[in-house]
């Protein structure tokens, strides 16, 4: 029902405001039919009323009152929240506040994130090295193969009596790490965990989940096919003579902004074996043995190969226990030539990687050695990042616990940490868990939002208390638009997605739209790239420019928790009551 006056109420300001972007910040992909639905109205408002209307403005389907004004902690932004959770009408709508430009359109429905759930996993296909991407799977982002990596040199930093510097080995396949064309074991660690854990937590869901990759339809879940592409590369990074694992496969320096097949800087190297890489490798291979062992027909011998690789890697760490074996690019460049100036993933504290490896080796081997070592593993309740992986084993222990009591015991530290994430949640003007502290907004900070979401999903799995899932969903709301920048931070998703990510194929392919499904790093107040930033506050220091690797790059360890979070929500939406049968 509308009157002439109410219609004019909407249309007049919108005409003047059309050129302006709306100050309404909301999940630009949408909301579950019966799930929480909130938007953040930023800046001054002339009215406390808000309306949800059809996109043409003709029908008003919800009327509400904005909540009280709150200053953001991390920028000069003033926010008033609009809660329209009671609206359960399916369709496409906008949020209107009299005097302001209407919000971006959004969907209310049973599967507003279905496309995103597939695309963020498909993003790994687009990161594949050593193979061409065909139009049948890659669409307009088809490209020739780059980096065969069949002739890779052992760098001086990795040389030993059996493989002297200059030895040629093959290390093909795997995923490019991020916007660059190098391949890093440490960053593969947490990334592979998230994808394999997603499968282990939701096998039935992923069994029906096709993302149109070359392996689709082979009787194996696509998520496992995609992860296997990187796992097989990882196996090539282990020295068969001693079980040690090279830290990365890399150029000596970063490539220019060219396509993979044009990136012919040579030679490529494998560099120094590191303790962190070898522990991460052991953990991933132990998981891989457990999981791919269920697909022995499709992958005969793979589970055994993974198990043996995991044990050999562990044996190397026992002979090289010194944390000084953590990778330090500065140190190796002091004596080994040529100097290596690509990404470091340096970490001289390998205790967390060791604990993760022990846990996964125990859960797969279930033998006395790792059972006794498991007694030395503390409850690690630190938010996971590429350099802090101690939490990952705890999630696996929870998942595979042999009894409800053991499950509860394994869950406890994680539920406690998830609970701590909710402390002072009301102080966050945008009503998200992301932004609880300024530290959330660092290099790759959007992965903090996704990892917090994963933590909250586990708390839900452990307690079935829906508040945890609601708060996990608030971080997806953050990533997809309810944030101070107004961006939906995933390429190809939302009305205002990144268009110029620091991602060499997206820059060099001549295709206007960037490769889809990739999560950019997000606001990073340190702005280490010295690019030009229009906004420089803690939660606004983001620029959608190819220059900005510190805020606008993509990375495999950032997409991985997003894959887990979005697909977990899709798998749990019915049980949680977000959608009704």
What residue ranges bind ligand 9MR (CB under 6 A)? 178-180, 254, 343, 549, 553
Judge whether 180 counts as a catalytic residue. Answer: yes
Considering the rule CB under 6 A, would residue 444 count as an interface residue with ligand G3I? yes
What is the nearest approach in angstroms of ligand 9MR to the Cβ of residue 43?
34
The residue of the chain with the least Cβ separation from ligand G3I equals 343
Short-list 414, 490, 411, CA closest to 447: 490
Q: Which of ligand G3I, ligand 9MR, none does residue 254 bind (CB under 5 to 8 Å by kind)?
A: ligand 9MR
Binding flag, residue 555, ligand G3I (CB under 6 A): yes
Q: Which of 107, 215, 353, 544 is catalytic?
A: 544
Q: Which stretch binds ligand G3I (CB under 6 A): 121-129, 172-180, 300-308, 428-436?
A: 172-180
Cα→Cα distances 501→267, 342, 351, Å = 27, 19, 34
547 binds ligand G3I (CB under 6 A): no
Residue 456, beta-bridge partner list: none
Shortest CB 502 distance to ligand 9MR, Å: 6
Residue of 155, 247, 471, 502 marked catalytic: 502
Distance in angstroms (rounded) separating the CA atoms of residues 250 and 66: 52
**Rounded distance, CA 21 to CA 122, Å?**
31
State which residue has the least CB distance to ligand 9MR.
Answer: 180
# chain residues binding ligand G3I, by CB under 6 A? 16
Cβ of residue 73: shortest distance to ligand G3I, in angstroms?
18
Q: Which of 279, 487, 542, 549 binds ligand G3I (CB under 6 A)?
A: 549
Please identify which residue in the block is written with the tokens 């990952």.
Answer: 392
Indicate if 544 belongs to the active site.
yes
Which C-beta is closer to ligand 9MR: that of 27 or that of 250?
Answer: 250
178 is an interface residue for ligand G3I by CB under 6 A: yes
What one-character-per-residue DSSP string does 253-315 give?
A: S---S--GGG-----EEE--B-HHHHHHHHHHHHHHHHHHGGGTTTSTTHHHHHHHHHHHHHH
3-state secondary structure string, 343-400? CCCCCCCCHHHHHHHHHHHHHHHCCHHHHHHHCCCCCCCCCCECCECHHHHHHHHHHC
451 is a contact residue toward ligand G3I (CB under 6 A): no
Work out whether strand 91-96 and strand 49-54 pair parallel, antiparallel, or are unpaired.
antiparallel
Could you identify the residue written with the tokens 């009301």?
426
Query: Which of ligand G3I, ligand 9MR, none sits in contact with 215, Cβ below 5 to 8 A by type?
Result: none
Selected from 490, 553, 561, 566, the binder of ligand G3I by CB under 6 A is 553
Question: Which uninterrupted H or E stretch holds 551?
Answer: none
Q: Is 280 considered catalytic here?
A: no
Alpha-carbon span 435 to 386, nearest angstrom: 20
Residue 263 CB, shortest distance to ligand 9MR, in Å, is: 11
Q: Name the strands in the sheet holding 78-83, side by side, starting at the edge strand that comes first in the sequence.
A: 24-25, 38-42, 78-83, 70-71
Asked if 442 is part of the footprint of ligand G3I (rule: CB under 6 A), the reply reads yes
Helix, strand, or coil here: 568?
A: helix
Binding partner of 150, given ligand 9MR, ligand G3I, none, CB within 5-8 angstroms per partner class = none
Q: Catalytic: which of 107, 149, 177, 180?
A: 180
My answer on whether omega of the bond before 338 falls inside 30° of 0, hence cis, is yes
Partner from ligand G3I, ligand 9MR, none contacting 444, C-beta within 5 to 8 A by type:
ligand G3I
CA atoms lying within 13 Å on the CB side of residue 61: 19
For ligand 9MR, the closer CB: 340 or 410? 340
Q: Which token pair is 123?
A: 């993003």
Question: CB of 338: closest distance to ligand 9MR in angstroms?
Answer: 16
Strand partners, 464: none
130 interacts with, out of ligand 9MR, ligand G3I, none, CB within 5 to 8 A per kind: none
Longest Cα pair distance anywhere in the chain, in angstroms?
86
The answer to whether 189 contacts ligand G3I (rule: CB under 6 A) is no
- Residues 331-360, interacting with ligand G3I (CB under 6 A): 343-345
C-alpha to C-alpha distance for 538 and 535, rounded to whole angstroms = 9
Scanning 221-229, 268-276, 277-285, 439-447 for contacts with ligand G3I by CB under 6 A, the matching segment is: 439-447
Q: Where in 514-533 is the site for ligand G3I (CB under 6 A)?
A: 528
Catalytic residues: 180, 502, 544, 553
Residues that bind ligand G3I (CB under 6 A): 177-180, 343-345, 385, 387, 442-444, 528, 549, 553, 555
């Amino acid at each position: 029902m509308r009157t002439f006056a109410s219609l004019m109420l909407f249309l007049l300001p919108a005409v003047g405001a059309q050129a302006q972007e709306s100050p309404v910040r909301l999940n630009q992909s949408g909301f579950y039919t019966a799930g929480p639905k909130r938007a953040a109205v930023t800046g001054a408002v002339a009215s406390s009323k808000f309306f949800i209307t059809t996109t043409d403005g003709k029908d008003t389907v919800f009327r509400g009152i904005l909540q009280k004004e709150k200053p953001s902690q991390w920028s000069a932004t003033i926010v008033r929240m609009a809660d329209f959770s009671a609206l359960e009408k399916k369709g496409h709508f906008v949020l209107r506040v009299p005097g302001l430009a209407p919000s971006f359109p959004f969907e209310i429905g049973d599967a507003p994130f279905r496309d995103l759930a597939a695309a963020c996993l498909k993003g790994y296909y687009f990161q594949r090295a050593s193979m061409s991407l065909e139009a049948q799977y890659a669409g307009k982002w088809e490209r020739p193969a780059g980096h065969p990596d069949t002739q890779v040199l052992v760098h001086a930093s990795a040389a030993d009596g059996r493989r002297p510097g200059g030895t040629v080995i093959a290390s093909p396949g795997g995923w490019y790490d991020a916007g660059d064309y190098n391949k890093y074991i440490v960053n593969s660690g947490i990334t592979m965990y998230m994808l394999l854990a997603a499968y282990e937590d939701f096998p039935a869901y992923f069994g029906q989940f096709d993302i149109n990759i070359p392996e689709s339809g082979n009787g194996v879940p696509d998520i496992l096919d995609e992860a296997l592409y990187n796992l097989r590369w990882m196996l090539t990074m282990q020295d068969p003579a001693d079980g040690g694992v090279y830290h990365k496969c890399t150029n000596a320096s970063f490539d220019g902004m060219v396509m993979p097949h044009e990136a012919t800087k040579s030679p490529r190297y494998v560099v120094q074996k590191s303790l962190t890489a070898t522990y991460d490798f052991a953990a991933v291979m132990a998981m891989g043995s457990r999981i791919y062992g269920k697909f022995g027909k499709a992958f005969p011998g793979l589970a055994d190969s993974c198990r043996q690789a995991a044990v050999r890697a562990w044996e190397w760490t026992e002979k090289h226990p010194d944390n000084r074996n953590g990778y330090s690019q500065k140190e190796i460049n002091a004596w080994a030539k040529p100097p290596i100036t690509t990404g470091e993933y340096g970490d001289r504290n390998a205790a967390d990687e060791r604990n993760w490896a022990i846990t996964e080796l125990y859960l797969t081997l279930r033998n006395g050695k790792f059972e006794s070592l498991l007694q030395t593993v503390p409850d690690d309740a630190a938010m996971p990042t590429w350099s802090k992986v101690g939490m990952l084993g705890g999630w696996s222990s929870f998942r595979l616990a042999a009894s409800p009591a053991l499950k509860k015991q394994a869950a406890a530290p994680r539920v406690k940490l998830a609970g701590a994430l909710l402390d002072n949640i009301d102080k966050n003007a945008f009503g998200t868990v992301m932004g609880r502290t300024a530290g959330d907004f660092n290099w790759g900070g959007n992965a903090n939002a996704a990892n917090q979401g994963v933590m909250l999903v586990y708390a839900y799995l452990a307690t079935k208390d829906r508040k945890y899932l609601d708060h996990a969903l608030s971080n997806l709301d953050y990533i997809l638009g309810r944030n101070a920048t107004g961006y939906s931070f995933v390429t190809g998703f939302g009305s205002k997605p990144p268009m110029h990510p620091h991602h060499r194929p997206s820059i060099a392919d001549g295709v206007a739209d960037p490769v889809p499904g990739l999560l950019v790093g997000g606001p990073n107040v340190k702005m280490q790239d010295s690019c030009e930033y229009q906004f420089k506050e803690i939660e606004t220091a983001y620029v959608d420019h190819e220059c900005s690797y510190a805020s606008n790059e993509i990375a495999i360890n950032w997409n991985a928790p997003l894959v887990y979070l979005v697909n977990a929500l899709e798998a749990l939406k019915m049980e949680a009551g977000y959608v009704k049968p």
